[in-house]
Amino acid sequence: MTNEQRTAEQLTAKQLTPEQETAEQHRFYLNLGPQHPSTHGVLRVVLEMDGEWVLNPQPDIGFGHRMHEKMGESRSWSQFFANVGRMDYVNAMAFNHGYAGLIERAAGIEVPLRAEYIRVITAELNRVASHLLWLGAFILDLGAFTPILYTFDDRESILDILEDITGSRLTYSYFRVGGVMKDIDDTFIEKTRGFIQQLRSRFPMYETLVNNNVILHHRMKGIAVISEDMARQYGVTGAVLRGSGIAYDVRKNAPYSVYPEFNFDVPVGKNGDCMDRYLVKFAEMEQSLRIIEQALDKLPEGEFRTKVKGKIKLKPGMTSFSVETARGELTFLLIGDGSEVPYRLKIRVPSFSNLSVMPDLCSDMLLSDLVTTMGSFDLVIPEIDR
C-alpha cells in the first residue's frame, strides 16, 4: 500500500471534512530536546506543528530524575544536606537556606543574628549570579551573542567571592543547621562592596545594549501573556507571577530570616508578557544589591553558628519552611517521627509549576516565540526532575 493510499484510508476512517483533511495533511510532530540548547537542561517538549505554528506543546520531564525526596527519607537530615544544592544548581544558596530553616524549625534551634545576616548576603549574591546567567543565556537563545560575554564576566566576580568562604563555585553546601560553615571577613566585605559598584556601573550598558534594543522588544512584547487568573490557576511563582502584576515575594509576604530588617521593592509588570517577565528579573538584581548593602552596613558581631551538642531529633508532626529562590517560591515540607531521619520529605519547587502553564499558554504560537517563552520562565530542569 502506498503512502497516499494509507493517508486516504486514515482520513476516510476519521470521517474528516475536506478542510480538516487539508489541515491534517500539513501537521507533523517535532521534538524540542531532550538535548537542545534552548531547553537549558534535559527537557523534552513534544510539539504538534502546523508549519511554523505550535498547536499543542507537551513537556516530557523526568530524564534526570534522581529521587532526592526519597533519599531524604532514607538518611539522616545531616547526610541529606549536600543533596539540596544539586537541585537548583544555579541558585543553590536558596535551597541551602530553605532546608536549614526547615531543620531548625523542626528541631527548635535558634540561629545567631550574625549568621542570619551572612545567610542573606550570600543568598542574594547567589541570586544575582543566577539572574546574570539567565540574562546572558536568554538573550543568546534569541540570537544575540555579545551580552553573555559581559554577564558571565560579572558572574565570575560573584563566584570568586563565594569561593573564598564556601570552597565551591556552583553547588554550594555552605549553610549549616544553626548558622553557616565559615564566618566572613573584611576581605569578603571589601570584595562584595567592590562588586556592587562594578555591577551598578554595568547597568547603563545593559540598558543600552539589551533592554532598549528594538529587536528584543519585537521578540518579547505581547508574547505569551499570562493573565492574573491564569497565574493563580497554575500556581506560578517568582518573576513569572510578578510579571503578571501580582506583587508576591516570600521575602516580603511571608518573611523569614532577617529580611524584615531591609528596605527593598518588589518589581512587578503590567501586561504579563515575556517583556514584563524579563524586566522584572532585570530589576530584581538592583533590589538584591540594595539588600546586600544594607546587610553589610548592619552586620552585627557575634557567633556565626550555634553550637549544637548531641544528635538533633526532628519533632513529631508536620513542619514546613518557604524561601524565595531566583525562580520563585520554594517550600520544604517535613513530617518527623522523633528521629534523625524524616518520615516524609516533600519539596515544592518553582520551575515545576511555572512549566505546567506551557501547554495552555503556548498553543497556537510560532515556534520561535515558544523558545522566547521558555527563556522568560528561567527554568532549571534538575529541580523539576528532583
Cell for 103?
531543620
Mean pLDDT (the chain) is 91
pLDDT digits (tens, 9 = 90+) for 112-136: 999 999 999 999 999 999 999 999 9
Give me the phi and psi of 334, to 5 degrees please.
Answer: -125, 135
Amino acid at 383: E
CATH hierarchy code of domain 68-360+367-384: 1.10.645.10
Mean pLDDT on 337-361: 94
Mean pLDDT on 217-239: 95
Report the share of the chain in percent with pLDDT over 70: 94
Tell me the residue length of the chain: 386
pTM of the model: 0.91
Residue 153 clears pLDDT 70, i.e. is over it:
yes
Element (H, E) at 329: strand 329-336
Residue 96's Cβ-count burial label (10 Å; 0-12, 13-18, 19+) is buried
pLDDT of residue 7: 47
Residues β-bridged to residue 266: none
> Residue ranges of the alpha helices (H) in the chain?
3-14, 18-25, 68-72, 77-84, 92-107, 113-141, 146-166, 186-206, 214-220, 228-234, 239-242, 250-253, 274-298, 350-356, 358-361, 367-377, 381-384
Residue pair 102/321 in contact by the 8 Å Cβ criterion? yes
Strands 329-336 and 344-348 come out as antiparallel
- What angle in degrees, to the nearest 10, is found between the helix axes of 186-206 and 146-166? 170
Write out the DSSP string of 232-284. Answer: HHHT--THHHHTTT----HHHHS--TTGGGS-------SS-SHHHHHHHHHHH
Residue pair 343/337 in contact by the 8 Å Cβ criterion? yes
Least confidently predicted of 4-13, 143-152, 310-319 = 4-13
Amino acid at 339: S
- Sorted by where each begins, the domain ranges of the chain are 68-360+367-384
Mean pLDDT on 28-46: 85
Report the share of the chain in percent with pLDDT over 90: 84
pLDDT of residue 34: 85
| 26 vs 60: which has the higher pLDDT | 60
pLDDT digits (tens, 9 = 90+) for 131-147: 999 999 999 999 999 99
The band of 26, judged by pLDDT with boundaries at 50, 70 and 90, is confident
Amino acid at 199: L
Residue 145, SS3?
Answer: coil
Least confidently predicted of 60-69, 91-100, 204-213, 287-296 = 60-69
Mean pLDDT on 221-231: 96
